[in-house]
Amino acid sequence: MDRKYIIVAGGVISGVGKGVATASIGKILKEYGFKTTAIKIDPYINVDAGTLRPTEHGEVWVTDDGGEIDQDLGNYERFLGETLSKINNITTGQIYYSVIKKEREGKFLGKTVQFIPHIPNEILERIKIASNNYDFALVEIGGTIGDYENIPFLFAAKSLERQIGKENVVYILITYLPIPSHIKEMKTKPTQQAIKSLSEHGIFPDIILCRAKEPLDDVRKKKIEIYANIDREFVISAPDISTIYRIPLNFEKEKLGKKILKKLGIKKRKKADFKHWEKLVDNIEHPRMNIKIAMVGKYLDIGDYSLLDVYISIKEALVHAGANLRVGVETEWINSKTLEKRENNIKNLSSYDGIIIPGGFGETGIEGKILAIEFARKQKIPLLGLCLGLQLAVIEFARNVCALSGANSTEFEESTKYPVIDVLPSQKKLLDNARIGGTMRLGAYAAFLESDSLTLSLYRKTGRIEKDKERLKEMLGRKDERYRMGRTPIGKNTILERHRHRYEVSPGFVHFLEDSGLKIAGFHKRLDDVNLIEFIEINDHPFFIATQSHPEFKSFLDDPAPLFLGLIEASLKQKKKR
């Protein structure tokens, strides 16, 4: 079968779930037995999302190969259950950067380098590389139709169609139908305009997904059918739902997958089996009980609104773990700064069943987070620390248990007497040698888990050790990825988690911490034999685990992240105790 492309574009407004819809279509096609991948196009000039402000763009997603990417890639990975590469994200910045570089290197042999054909050609080349070896590639064009920014990508889509034939391409338009509160009537006009804008680029949607608060009625379906000149069966209603994980099930009910195949003149390879997924979605919608988790982080405002996207992967990882235990997880966002102000605010933390200290940069609210960690440690409230969360747990332990008063990270206090968290100069050199640029440890790194740790028992229980084995083997086979393995012992206790940080636990302080009872539950052994701390635990505590990694980037509805599962189990016990 020739490779098929599904081009997804959005009309009317952004933020209506285009990424999740794309991911859900991918999930269905995968269920039908097709090898499926998804590519996200971001029309901004940044080369990647690493330098974007989280307040504008939500959380940065990190791939195994160290890409810092828009979180839609997170949705693709979560729904497809596949490890995607950074090449699955294409930005305008990358395209121009590469075309200009080629021009400087004389690769265009004296030709005039122009928008057409050079920019769309570069886009197409990248789409083809990312979709190599797949039956289906979904290509989601970011932004909204009508934006100046996505014109080159629409042009590239049209060229793709010309090259491989319309029989191999399906266009899907995702629109939004508002119901203005003063008229209480669903309006189709913005959708009509989006169809018109798209047609100006020579693209006529094969399928229109109509996002709205409510299902589309017949009158409106008919309007769109006539306006877009497509049969009604291809106008699909996608109303708001209780959980994003219901979307593939709803699409399946609407026979969306079948309709896509019909457009392409092909048949399913196997019968889809959504039983387990359906059960998990049902668990999300009907939990047997609820627990309350405090997320002690930075509270981010944009104007009068606060951005909830900053910790989206953590939120999803909690949903996944909760679904598998049929427990509803209520996450409350606590501004760590408020904990610094009043002692009572700290005491209020005892009304939660568990606490998460998420990752972060910069010194705002750091002391509040350290107070929360101390409280959780002493009051034996389940705690999970992620990245910065581990660093702060180490600082708290150094200050209050090892009596290294004033211990800190050089990120917050350069001249601290006890730099228990620091940038390792050797680390910088290693990263330079690996020619990966920048000073961050990015992407998947191997960690060896100690045999008597709670961490290991959770990774075993969830089958992660076995799953990571395959990926580790693949990595070992690739010279350019060898540094991700380092000299970490490979055997039955090795796992892979993703990273995004600059600072590490200072190796020189590890024995102080251990002597005072901090358990090093996992480490990465670098190529120069230096051990980097990856997991810590406190023994005399129902659940106190922190990791230098971001396990939330490897959490799936049907394969929850081990530490999140552990946290929810412990929080359930905590609730019963309270």
Which residues are marked as active site? Answer: 387, 550, 552
Size of the site for ligand GLN (CB under 6 A): 10
DSSP string over 323-380: HHHTEEEEEEEEEHHHHHH-HHHHHGGGGSSEEEE----SSTTHHHHHHHHHHHHHHT
Query: Which member of 26, 67, 322, 359 binds ligand GLN (CB under 6 A)?
Result: 359
Q: How far apart are CA 175 and CA 208, in angstroms?
A: 7
Sequence-distant (6+) residues with CB within 8 A of 514 are: 520
Which value, in Å, is the radius of gyration of the alpha carbons in the chain? 25
C-alpha–C-alpha distance, residues 1 and 303, integer Å = 51
**Options 387, 424, 430, 557; binder of ligand GLN; rule CB under 6 A:** 387
Is 40 near ligand GLN (CB under 6 A)? no
Site string for ligand GLN, 314-353 (x = CB under 6 A): ----------------------------------------
Q: Indicate the residue among 220 and 501 with the shorter CB distance to ligand GLN.
A: 501
Q: Smaller CB distance to ligand GLN: residue 4 or 524?
A: 524
Among the listed ranges 142-150, 319-327, 359-367, 428-436, the one in contact with ligand GLN (CB under 6 A) is 359-367
Cα–Cα distance for residue pair 49/60, rounded to 1 Å: 6
Minimum Å gap between C-beta 313 and ligand GLN is 12
360 binds ligand GLN (CB under 6 A): yes
Stretch that binds ligand GLN, among 35-43, 83-91, 356-364, 564-572 (CB under 6 A): 356-364
DSSP 138-149: EEEEPS-TT-ST
CB of 500 to ligand GLN, least distance (A): 5
Question: Which one of 284, 388, 404, 557 is in contact with ligand GLN (CB under 6 A)?
Answer: 388
Q: How far is CA 180 from CA 17, 184, 194, 393, 444, in A?
A: 19, 6, 18, 48, 46
315 vs 501, which CB is nearer to ligand GLN? 501
The site string for ligand GLN over 391-430 (x = CB under 6 A, - otherwise) reads --------------------x-------------------
Torsion 155-157-159-165 (CA) sign:
negative
Residue 7 one-letter amino acid: I
Q: Please report, as a single letter, which amino acid is at residue 444.
A: A
- Nearer to ligand GLN by Cβ, of 195 and 395: the residue is 395
Q: How far is the C-alpha of 533 from the C-alpha of 514, rounded, in Å?
A: 12
CB of residue 143 vs ligand GLN: minimum separation in angstroms?
Answer: 27
Considering the complex, state which of residue 43 and residue 385 has its C-beta at the smaller distance from ligand GLN. 385
Are the C-beta atoms of 28 and 272 separated by less than 8 Å?
yes
- Smallest gap from residue 332 Cβ to ligand GLN (A): 20
Closer residue to ligand GLN, CB minimum distance, 227 or 333: 333
Q: How far is the CB of 440 from ligand GLN (least distance, A)?
A: 7
Q: CB of 359 within 8 A of CB of 388?
A: yes
- Residue with the closest Cβ to ligand GLN? 359
State the nearest-atom distance from the C-beta of 321 to ligand GLN, in Å. 20
Backbone angles phi, psi at 143, to 5 degrees: 80, -165
Identify whether the C-beta of residue 495 lies closer than 8 Å to the C-beta of residue 446: yes
Which amino acid is located at 165 in the chain? G
* Cα-based distances in Å from 136 to 25, 389, 406, 513: 11, 39, 56, 51
Q: Which is nearer to ligand GLN, 259 or 500 (CB)?
A: 500
Nearer to ligand GLN, 313 or 324 (CB): 313
Interface residues for ligand GLN in 277-316 (CB under 6 A)? none
AA identity, residue 221: K
Beta partners for residue 89, in sequence order: 40
Nearer to ligand GLN, 155 or 503 (CB): 503
**What string of H, E and C letters represents the secondary structure of 176-205?**
EECCCCCCCCCCCHHHHHHHHHHHCCCCCC
Distances (CA, A) of 575 to 46, 178, 290, 329: 45, 41, 9, 12
Residue 85 phi, psi (nearest 5):
-100, 165
Build a one-symbol-per-residue string for 471-510: x at contacts with ligand GLN by CB under 6 A, - elsewhere: -----------------------------xxxx-------
Judged by CB under 6 A, which of 96, 108, 204, 361 binds ligand GLN? 361
Binding site for ligand GLN (CB under 6 A): 359-361, 387-388, 411, 500-503
